[in-house]
Amino acid sequence: MTLTGALLIGQNTVNRPETFQALNAATGEALDTAFSCATAEDAGTACTLADAAFDTFRATTPEARAQFLDCIAEEIESLGQPLLDRAHAETGLPLARLTGERGRTTGQLRLFAQELRAGRCLDARIDEALPDRKPMPRADLRQIRIGVGPVAVFGASNFPLAFSVAGGDTASAFAAGCPVVVRAHPAHPGTSELVGRAIQSAVKKCGLPEGTFSLLGGPDYTLGAELVRHPAIMAVGYTGSRSGGIALSKIAAARPVPVPVYAEMSSINPVYLLPEALKTRADALAAAFIGSLTMGAGQFCTNPGLILALSGPDLDRFCQSAQEALKTAAAPTMLTQSIHASYDAGVETLGSRPGVTLLGRGPHGEASGCQAAVFTTDAAHFLQDPVMQHEIFGSCSLIVACPDLETLLRLSRSLEGQLTATLHMEDADIATASQLMPVLERKVGRILANAWPTGVEVCAAMVHGGPFPATTDPRSTSVGTAAIERFLRPVCYQDLPDALLPAGLRSTNPLKLPRQTSH
C-alpha cells in the first residue's frame, strides 16, 4: 500500500496544503511523504460524520461488530512487512518488537470479537413484572448497555500499533458500538496511515456507515483540543504525558456537556525488594532490574522507575551488582528527538536534587540512544521532595533505602497513584508483604509478585489503570476486555412492548445473550 499523506475522513481521502514529514528516529532525517495537517474544519467534519453513523453502528448485532473487528485484524495482517518497516523507521523500535506488537494489536481486536460473541459485556438484566406483589406491584424492568457515542482516540508515541490507530482504545470503542475519530501521533504518521487505511477498508467491506472511522493528523496540539471540544464526541481515550492528559481533561470538563477522558498518563511503578528475597538473590534481582529498566529504552508506562528496600548489606550488594550490569546495558534508539531531550533533562534534574547520588550510567551508544541512569537516595530525602516522584520517560530509576519497615510503609502511603507495584519476596517475607498489601491496593491497578512490570498481557483479568496520576479514572482499564466498559452505559426499559425493546432484551432473546433474570 502506497503512502499518500492524506487525511482519512470517513471513506474520503483529504489533502491539505499545510504538511509535515516524519523523521527517522535513528538519524533525525526527514522520511519520504508529506502528510496533511488537519484543520479545525476537518475535525468538525469527522465528528459530524461519526455522529451521523452512531445510531446505525450501535444498532448492529454483536456478531456484526465481531466480524468487523476480525476484518480489521485481517486487513492489518495483509499489510505485511511494509507496515513493520515503516514503523521501524519512524520509531526506531526493533523489527522483532514491532512484529510482536502487530500480533498484540490483531490479537486484542480478535479478543474483543470473542467478547462480543460471548455477550457478557452487554450485561443484559431482566426483572419480570410482578403484578400481584403486595403492597406494590413491580413493573417489567429490563436493562442492557449501549455505546455512549462517538469516541476520540489519541495515538500513543511508544506503541505505534497496539496503543494507536487500531489499538485497545479503538478496538474497545468499536466493540461497544461507538464510531471512532483518531488523532494520529505525529511521530509515526506513515504507520498511522497504513493502519488507518486497513480500518477504512474494513468499514467498507462490512457495509458500515462511513463515519464509523476517521483519521486526522498533524503536529499542532490544537487539533486534539478541537476534537475534545466537539459536541458529538462523548468520550476520549488517551495515552501519553500527564500534562497532555490533564489539559484534555480540563477541556472536556469545561464543555457545556462534560464528557469523560480516560487518560493513561504517569507512573513510576514501585518495586519492593523485601528482606529475604534481597538476602537470597540480590545479584539476580539486580541483573533482572537493569534488563527490565533498559528494555525498549525504558519507553514503557510500566517501567520500574522506583526501587524500595530496607537499608543494609543486602541492598548494598544489589546496588553494586546493578552498577556492574549498567556498564554493559543496551542503549536503544529513543522514539523521537524531543523524547530524548526530555529524558536527558529529567535525568539532569533528578541528579541535582539534594540527597540524590548517581549510582551509575549505561553506555552512551548512538546519539539517539538512551543512556541508562540509576540514582540512589534515602527515605528522608525522598519524603521531603515531590520531584523524586516525577516520571522520567526512559531508562532511569531511583533506589530508595529505608531504615525500617515503618518508614517503608510511610513512604508507600506518600506515593502517588501508580499503574503497578511489584513485590519481590520469599515465603519468609509474607508477613511483611501482608502489611504492604492494604497500602498498595489503594495506590495501584496491578500488583505483581516476583516479576517485573514491563509487559502487559492482553486478557480478561488485566488491569492497566490506577489512581491519579496513573489515570484520570481509577475505575477503568485501557487493556483487557474490561476496557469496553468505558464506552458503554446502561439503559433501563420499563413496561415496553417487545417490538420496541433492543433485540437482546426481547422475550425470544434472538441474540442468545446471557441474561440475569429474576421472576
Q: Helices 189-205 and 62-78 sit at what angle, rounded to 10 degrees?
A: 140
- Using CA atoms, how far residue 260 sits from 48, 229, 334, 346, 458, in Å, is 19, 12, 31, 30, 23
Catalytic choice (210, 226, 264, 391)? 264
Cα–Cα distance, 207 to 226 (Å, whole number): 29
The 8-class DSSP code of residue 27 comes to: T
- Is 47 a catalytic site residue? no
Q: Return the SS3 of 270.
A: strand
Q: Name the residue with cell 543494609.
A: 312
Cis-peptide into 469, omega within 30 deg:
yes
Alpha-helical runs (H) found in 79-167: 81-91, 95-118
- Is 264 a catalytic site residue? yes
Catalytic choice (178, 301, 396, 402)? 301
| Residues composing the chain | 519
Q: Is 180 in contact with 168 (CB distance < 8 Å)?
A: no
DSSP E strand stretches across 30-179: 35-36, 124-127, 141-147, 151-154
Cα–Cα distance, 108 to 166 (Å, whole number): 10
HEC-encoded secondary structure of 364-406 = CCCCCECCCEEEEEEHHHHHHCHHHHCCCCCCEEEEEEECCHH
Cα–Cα distance, 348 to 346 (Å, whole number): 5
The 8-class DSSP code of residue 332 comes to: P
Taking CA 42 as the corner, what is the angle to CA 37 and CA 48, rounded to the nearest 5 degrees? Answer: 155
Cα–Cα distance, 27 to 25 (Å, whole number): 6
Closest CA to 290 of 396, 183, 407, 436: 396
Cα–Cα distance, 23 to 43 (Å, whole number): 25
DSSP E strand stretches across 132-277: 141-147, 151-154, 180-183, 213-216, 235-239, 261-264, 270-273
Cα–Cα distance, 114 to 229 (Å, whole number): 33
What residues form DSSP beta bridges with 385? Answer: none
Closest CA to 161 of 293, 228, 224, 73: 73
Type of residue numbered 130:
L
Q: Is 340 in contact with 350 (CB distance < 8 Å)?
A: no
Q: Is 466 in contact with 264 (CB distance < 8 Å)?
A: no
Cα–Cα distance, 415 to 421 (Å, whole number): 11
Type of residue numbered 151:
V
Q: Which residues are catalytic?
A: 264, 301
